[in-house]
Amino acid sequence: MRLILATSNQDKIKEIRQIYASFSQDFGVEILSWDTLMTPFEITEDGTSFQENALIKSRVVFEILKNQGILKVRDIVLSDDSGICVEKLGGAPGIRSARYSGGGAEENLEKLRSEVKRLGGISRAHYCACIGISSFVSDSSAHGFMYGQVIAECRGENGFGYDPIFIPNGFNKTLAELSSEEKNSISHRRIALENAQYLLRALLEK
């Protein structure tokens, strides 16, 4: 079976490959990203939740690959829609995390850092990831969350996105100060992918 990742975010691809390393080996699942099968394009993420956007991404890519005759019958398309929700900002940036500042990842981080500073320097926050799965059989999804706090200073070089200002509960380091193994053992993406494994195994057994 091929698991086709419908994401253009290389950091997500790296994490998904790491988290699914033993699953793909144990179940003979080949993981590849959609840009190896087609020219990637901008997908309009106009859903109102992480789940809606994840399913938009997996279904759109599935349909195009199917119409181009590229898909094999057991192929599965997997997407990830994720973001950070800050309590003192009423849950923002949330599903707009990738578009928060209108600029790139660095501008998004700087905008959130300065907002947190304006609001007193700290706020409870959580990351959410929703995995979308589209196949010839069905569409399904799985969520994962990671709770913690955001601070108004950047610390660490690892990870991506908002990781330099997010301290997970139970730690005194930001995600960017943790190793990729440490992040992947607790992250929203890890939990969502673990939940998604149950759906994938069911599809594998069909």
- Rule CB under 6 A: say whether 7 interacts with ligand ITT: yes
Q: For ligand ITT, what does the binding mask look like between residues 120 and 139, x meaning CB under 6 A?
A: -------x------------
Hey, is 167 helix, strand or coil?
strand
16 near 42, Cβ under 8 Å?
no
Q: Is residue 177 a contact point for ligand ITT (CB under 6 A)?
A: no
Binding mask 48-67 for ligand ITT (x = CB under 6 A): --------------------
Please count the residues of this chain forming the interface with ligand ITT, following the rule CB under 6 A. 22
Contacting ligand ITT (CB under 6 A), which of 51, 97, 140, 174? 97
188 is in an annotated binding site: yes
Residue 160 interacting with ligand ITT (CB under 6 A):
yes
Among 75, 81, 115, 177, binds ligand ITT (CB under 6 A): 81
Question: Is residue 115 near ligand ITT by the rule CB under 6 A?
Answer: no
Q: How far apart are CA 128 and CA 191, in angstroms?
A: 10
Largest Cα–Cα distance of the chain, in whole Å? 54
User: Is 81 a residue of the active site?
Assistant: yes
Residue nearest to ligand ITT (CB): 161
The answer to whether residues 74 and 4 touch, using CB atoms and an 8 Å cutoff, is no
Task: Find the part of the chain contacting ligand ITT (CB under 6 A) among 17-25, 136-144, 154-162, 196-204.
Answer: 154-162
Would you give the end-to-end CA distance of the chain in angstroms?
A: 12
* Alpha-helical segments (H) within the chain: 10-19, 21-27, 50-67, 105-118, 180-186, 188-205
Paired strand residues for 3:
31, 76
Closest distance of CB 119 from ligand ITT, Å: 19
CB nearer to ligand ITT: give 69 or 104.
Answer: 104
Between CA 96 and CA 77 the distance in angstroms is 23
Distances (CA, A) of 174 to 148, 162, 192: 10, 10, 21
Per CB under 6 A, residues contacting ligand ITT are: 7-9, 12, 45, 80-84, 97-98, 105, 108, 127, 159-163, 187, 189
**What residues act catalytically?**
81
